[in-house]
Amino acid sequence: MQKFIIYSFVVCSLLFSGCKVVPPTITRFEAPSNILRGDKAVLLWDVTPSKYLKNIALKNLADSLPIQGKAEVKPTKLQSYELRITFKHKRKTLSEARTVHIQVTEPPVKFTGTKHLNIGEEARLEWQLPHFAKNVRISEWIDGDMTTDWNDIPSQASINIAPVQNARYKLEYLDEGALKVLTHEVSVTPAFFTGTRKIIAGEEVQLIWKTNPKAPHVSLEKRENSYTREVIKEQLPQAGNFKLMPKQSTEYLLSIIDVHHTTLLHRVEVVQGVINGQKIVKQGEKGYISWRANPEAKKIWIEKVENNQPTMLYANLHEEGQLEVKPTNTSTYLLAVETQEGITKYAHTMRVTAPNEAGIYTQSNTQTSGYDIEVIDPRHIKSASSQTDAPITIEPHIISETATKVYFEFSKTQVAESDKPVLDALVAKLKKDEVSIAEISGHSDLKGSAKGCEAVAKERAEILKKYLVDAGIPEYRIITKSYGRMYPLNYQEMTEANARENRRAEIVILK
C-alpha cells in the first residue's frame, strides 16, 4: 500500500510539471547605436515561440509582427524604439518590452576650394552634400550681382572656374524641403610683380611678372626720384622676366591696361657694399668678417667703433675679401665705401661672450654703438614720393619656408643623385602653387680668388635653375644670385666637411 502511494505521488508530480505554463520572452532586440541623418537603420528581434503569445508590436510603428523579423526606420534625430509583446499567463494578460536608442549624426557638408589666385589662372571649387540633397545650384556673384549659375548639379563633385576679379560663390540646395546656403570667396590679384630686392651697385637685377593673359598692353617703367618716370619697354609679354643693372635705388612700375588700368610697384635697393661675419665669438677667440663692395669704388676701408668713435682698422681694401679679427668685447665694424657720390658706411656688430664662475659663457658687454648705416653725402638720403599718381603696391611674396640646400664637391657644379629627390619634391611644391617663386643663391668655399669663387657659385645657381626648368617650372618664376664666398656657413674651414657646407646652393620659395 505504501509503495502504491509513493508511485501515485511521483506520477502526479510529473503530470503537474508537464502542464506548467512557460511565458514567451524577447531574446533579441537590437539596432545600430549611431547613423547619419538620411540613412536607414535596421531593427532586429527574436521572440521565443509560445501558444500563449498574443501580439508583438513596435510602439507607434507596427503590430502583429512575426516572432523573428526586421524593420527599417529612418530617424531624423535621437530616437528610441520599443518592442513589446503581450501574452496570457494564468488567465491574465501580461507584457514584456525592450528599448533601443539610435543617435542621429549630421552628414558631412563642405564647400571649399581655391581662396586666392592671379588673374588668368583657374580656381577649383569642391563640395560634398548629403545624398538626399535636392535642387543643388551654384552661382557666382561679383559686386553684388550674379554673373553665372550652374543648376541641377550632383550633390558631390567639383568644377574649375576662372574669375577675373574678386568673386563670391553660393551653393544652394534643399535639405528635406528646407533651403540651405553655403558660401566660398575667391580673391583675385590683378597680377604679381616681384624680383631682386637688394643689390650691390654694378650687379644685375631680375624682375618677374605675370598678368592677365588677355591683357592687351603691358609696359615697364622706372622711377629713380619723385619727379620723373621713364619707359623702359613697351608691349611686354603677359608673363616673363627682365634683367637690368640700375646704378641707384629705383622703383620699377609694371603698367597693365585691360578692363582696369593697374600699376604694380617693385623697389630695388642699390647699396655700395655689404659687410657680414660672425655675430657671437668667445672671449679670446678669433672672429672673421667678410665684405663685398662696388667694384667701381674709389676707396674701401674698414673702421672699428670704440667708445662710440670710429677708428681706422684696415685701409685700401679690395672690392671683396675676408679678414680675421680678435675683439676683446662687443665691437662694431664699419665698411666704408667711397664713390663719386660720397662715402657710405655699413655696420656689423660682433658680440663677445666670457665665462662666468661656472665656466658657462655669457655675453660680456651688451653695449653697441647704435650704428646701422651712416650716410655722409646728403645726396644719398632717400626722400618720400610726393607724386599724386602713386601706383598700387602689391608685394604678395614672402619666404614661405626654410632654405633647401644642395652641396657640391670642390670646384664642381654637378648635382648629386642623392639630392635629386629633394629637388623633385621642390618641383612638386612649385607646380602645386603657381604663384610661388624660387630664389636660388650660389655659394662657394673660401679657397681660390674672389672672382673664381663668384663664378663657380653662379654656375651652381644656374645648374639648379636648369634642373627646375627641365622639370617644367617656367623660367620667369626663378631668380638666381651668386654670392661667392661672401656668406660662408663656416668661417674656419678646419675640415673638408666644413668646406663642403660652404660649397652649396640654397633655394627658398617666395609666395
- pLDDT, residue 384, reads 28
Sign of CA dihedral 370, 372, 375, 376: positive
pLDDT tens digits, 229-259: 889 998 898 888 888 999 889 999 998 887 6
What is the predicted pLDDT for the residue at 370? 35
- Is the pLDDT score of 205 beyond 80? yes
Per residue in 416-447, pLDDT (tens digit) is 888 888 899 889 888 887 777 888 999 998 88
pTM of the predicted structure, to 2 decimals = 0.54
Q: How far apart are CA 138 and CA 167, in angstroms?
A: 13
pLDDT for 359: 53
Matching fold, domains 23-105 and 110-189: yes
Q: What is the DSSP code (8-state) at residue 51?
A: T
Distances (CA, A) of 452 to 448, 498, 504: 6, 19, 15
Q: Could you report the per-residue pLDDT of 337-394, keeping only the tens digit for each?
A: 999 889 999 999 988 887 765 555 555 444 433 333 333 332 232 222 333 333 333 3
β-bridge pairing 404-407 and 504-510: antiparallel
Percent of the chain predicted with pLDDT > 70: 86
- Which residues lie across from 509 on neighbouring strands? 438
What residues does each domain of the chain span?
A: 23-105, 110-189, 199-256, 272-380, 397-511
Share of the chain above pLDDT 90, in %: 36
CATH fold for the domain made of 272-380: Immunoglobulin-like (2.60.40)
pLDDT digits (tens, 9 = 90+) for 81-114: 999 999 988 888 899 999 999 999 999 999 999 8
Amino acid present at 204: E
Beta pairing class for 280-282 and 342-355? parallel
d(CA 432, CA 438): 13
C-alpha distances out from residue 78 to 37, 75, 82, 98, Å: 10, 7, 14, 17
Residue 238 confidence (pLDDT):
84
What is the structure's pLDDT at 112? 93
- What average pLDDT is seen over the chain? 82
pLDDT category at 142 given cuts 50, 70, 90 is: confident
Mean pLDDT check: name the lowest of 50-59, 307-316, 375-384.
375-384
**Tell me, what's the pLDDT at 4?**
55
Residue 77 has pLDDT above 70, yes or no: yes
Domain 23-105 top-level CATH class: mainly beta
How do residues 487-504 score in pLDDT, each as one tens digit? 888 777 778 888 888 899
Question: CA distances (Å), 389 to each of 234, 253, 385, 393, 412, in order?
Answer: 19, 12, 10, 12, 50
* Structural class in CATH, domain 397-511: alpha beta
Per CATH, the number for 110-189 is: 2.60.40.2470
Q: What is the pLDDT of residues 22-31, one digit of tens each?
A: 789 999 999 9
Instruction: Tell me what pLDDT residue 372 has.
Output: 34
Nearest to 440 by CA among 421, 418, 419, 466: 466
- Among the ranges given (167-176, 283-292, 376-385), the one the predictor scored with the smallest mean pLDDT: 376-385
Going along 320-369, which residue ranges are E strands? 320-325, 331-339, 342-355, 361-363
pLDDT tens digits, 149-160: 898 889 999 999
Taking residues 390-402, report their average pLDDT: 43
| pLDDT score at 26 | 93
Confidence (pLDDT) at 463:
92
Task: Evaluate if residue 271 carries a pLDDT over 90.
Answer: yes
